[in-house]
Amino acid sequence: MTGDDRIEYLPYNVLEAAKQRLRNIIQTFDTLYVCFSGGKDSWVLLNLVEEVYREMGIGERVRVVFRDEEIIQDTVLDFVNAVRLSGRFDFRYYCLPLESEKYILGNKETYIQWDPNRQWIRPKPAYAITSPVVMDQYTSDGLITQDGKGRIGLLIGIRADESLTRRASVLRKRHECYVSDSDYPNIKKLKPLYDWKEPDIFKYLHECNLAYCPSYDFQLFAGANLRVSTPLHAESSKNIYQLKESEPVFYAQVCALFPEIRLQERYFHSLDRYSIIARYPHNFSGIYQYINEHITDPAQRKKAREAVHEVEKARAKALREGKHANPFGGYPLLYVFRCIVNGAYKRKIMPKGLANTSKMEIAYEQDSSEKI
């Protein structure tokens, strides 16, 4: 290879890239909030925002919002409260009746966090901000930012390598891919750490000598995923058995409140979630039929049907206009069906490129009665 043929690789530092994004964000938005969960990613983001504030000569405290989802370990809450009581941040602690889901053996059922009609796992803190109105994670954005003015940004510690859905969410845009819409026209969701990986997160914590939530140490020794979230969500519930090892007291509390979670622990790994797909026609009608027969909760059934309907329209438009490189308009039928079986219809189902389309998905389309 000659000198003229050599490819020049530019140095890429995710820390400096994130700080540059934050400088752009601070100069663009009127009011910013950091969404803090007590987890490692949002903790790094919170410290990084404060660091950039000081570098830019901004003396005000960073606004922080924490949504207490009720089904959360004491170790996480202790860490969150240590941050709250540090006095470094303008900290808002919310206990809201949010519509959420519990995932049991392939089925999603709705429950309300802090539902006044059932027993709670623990009392609400006296300092928590509350509301009598039942909301969801997205519509609650309006409440937690109600004192914000102008263009509002919600900073979220999401990384693209955490899931294919999160990766797809930042690949849709060529410019400012870390900026996405919310349910409110004046509120944007901002993901300045989208290109970080887990080692980058821990490197920052180590180099800045920052303590982190002890739950991660428990999870590490138990061989569990390093994740801070309610164990009832679809992804977390798949490994509910690990919670018994890493946080046994919390596990017992969750089982006392939701006894059916023991079924998930006992039988999930023997469950072939996808075998049921073979019983249905290889088309959108088959997917709707599955939804009607297996998603018993009316609210969840409605969400699933709406998600598939949006996919159906997007696929038809892409195929009609011929703008998508994927011959299935970015939405192979088997991929969509599996998203529904997984319960991945709370958020928008993202399209996938041809390179990520499997041979099994292509074969499934060949047996489809849908017009390709």
The answer to whether the beta carbons of residues 28 and 151 sit under 8 Å apart is yes
Strand partners, 155: 34, 190
Measure the CA–CA gap between 255 and 184, rounded to whole angstroms: 37
Predicted local distance difference test score (pLDDT) of residue 296: 81
- The CA-atom distances, in angstroms, between 23 and each of 56, 179, 213, 267 are 8, 14, 27, 49
Measure the CA–CA gap between 22 and 45, rounded to whole angstroms: 10
Map out the domains of the chain as residue ranges. 14-200, 275-366
Q: What is the DSSP string of 198-240?
A: HHHHHHHHHHTT----THHHHHHHHT-----S-TTSHHHHTTH
Tokens of 114: 């802090």
**Structure confidence by residue, pLDDT tens digits, 317-347:** 888 887 666 678 888 999 999 888 877 787 7
Neighbours of 338 (CB within 10 A): 15
Measure the CA–CA gap between 319 and 327, rounded to whole angstroms: 7
pLDDT above 70: residue 10: no
Strands (E), the chain: 31-35, 63-67, 90-94, 99-104, 107-112, 152-156, 179-181, 187-190
pLDDT band at 126 (very low <50, low <70, confident <90, very high): very high
Measure the CA–CA gap between 192 and 156, rounded to whole angstroms: 8
Average pLDDT, the chain: 84
Predicted local distance difference test score (pLDDT) of residue 241: 72
Quickly tell me which residue has 């969801």 as its tokens. 136
CATH fold of 14-200:
Rossmann fold (3.40.50)
Quickly tell me which residue has 């946080």 as its tokens. 247
